[in-house]
Amino acid sequence: MAVRSGDAAVVEHVRRLAALAGVEVLVVPSGAVPPPHALLVDDVGGGRGPRDTVGPAVEVAADGAHTGPGVLRLPSEAEALLGVLTEAGAPERARVLGVVGAVGGAGASVLAAALARLAVGAGVPTALADLDPGGGGVDVLLGIEHDPGPRWADVLTERGGFPPDRLTLALPAWHSVRVLSTDVRAGVAPDDAVVDAGLRALGRAVDLLVLDLPRQVLAPASAPPWLGLCSDVVLVAGTDLRSAAAAAAAVRTLGPSGAALHLVARSGGGLTADDVADAAGVAHVVAMRPERALAAGVERGAAPGDQRRGPLAAAARRLLREIGLPG
């Protein structure tokens, strides 16, 4: 990154923000032509100089300088500049996998946790993000609700960029999966820019980001934007008539998202997994037997994936293979 300025205070502000974002800085005198760069932070407080066309630029100026709109003021808008620098310094690298239930109680959170656990066990750096707008917390399901580390309620108080490694390493770990959970204090709002920034920061620090999606993403009129982040979406349904109908409706919503769709049908109803796939118009389905002891086991401290040869782990492994990930 290059910063072009003749104002020592502006340069110092940019240096400090760049250090937080983990970005190296080259200082260019005001009026000079900057070298090729990944990002140019251009101080326009003293006028606009010549600029090359190699990389993107963000315009800054000291507080009180007379400039036009779109210029970030320093230090008053330092957090906004930190966000720009963080994105420039750490491009997104994660495969993003969303998991959502066609109906309530389908077991999407349990499957999302199992997928994350098996992937990280196979050597894939993984994070799990709970996107429940109502709070409650996937950390309770995992048995880490008392472990230290930020939850969404803490992250949502931040304004500005998130240094990806610092955010990720601060989160509580569950079998080496970094978990960003809601809790009783707050869920997440679909239109909050801080939520988007937090997810993108996680996507820069891990190789797989599993999103425990709320069913609101299946409501076209008010769908949160998170489907747009996903390369793959796992839809979990039961094998009863209502679940089959809900899966069919969900597929119509998920199709335009562009994500690869994977259907999981949990047996126990009057239909087969193939019946659910036919109703939804999906060519392939992963059948999953219920893990009947899990619900009671969670109350005693068990967690998804503890039964390494159980039906939940078997379905998760099959899904990871379909997606092209180790598990």
Q: What single-letter amino acid sits at 47?
A: G
Confidence of residue 317 (pLDDT cuts 50, 70, 90): very high
Q: Buried b / exposed e across 97-125, counting CB within 10 Å, b at 16+?
A: bbbbbbbeebbbbbbbbbbbbbbbbeebb
The answer to whether the beta carbons of residues 126 and 208 sit under 8 Å apart is yes
Structure confidence by residue, pLDDT tens digits, 27-85: 988 888 887 777 889 998 876 666 655 568 889 998 988 777 889 999 988 878 887 88
Summarize the confidence of residues 227-250 as an average pLDDT.
Answer: 95
What region, left, alpha or beta, does residue 85 occupy, with left being phi > 0 and alpha being psi -120 to 50 degrees?
A: alpha
Position 272 scores a pLDDT of: 95
Structure confidence by residue, pLDDT tens digits, 174-220: 999 999 999 988 888 887 888 988 898 899 889 999 999 999 999 87
Position 275 scores a pLDDT of: 96
Local structure of 43: helix, strand or coil: strand
Rounded distance between C-alpha atoms, residue 18 and residue 60, angstroms: 14
Rounded distance between C-alpha atoms, residue 242 and residue 261, angstroms: 20
The answer to whether the beta carbons of residues 185 and 147 sit under 8 Å apart is no
Summarize the confidence of residues 274-292 as an average pLDDT.
Answer: 91
Strands (E), 156-246: 173-174, 177-180, 208-212, 232-238
Local structure of 264: helix, strand or coil: strand
Structure confidence by residue, pLDDT tens digits, 290-310: 877 666 566 666 677 777 888
Q: CA neighbours within 13 Å on the CB side: how many for 227?
A: 25
Q: What single-letter amino acid sits at 59?
A: E
Query: pTM higher than 0.75 for the full model?
Result: yes
Position 55 scores a pLDDT of: 66
Cis, bond preceding 75 (omega within 30 deg of 0): yes
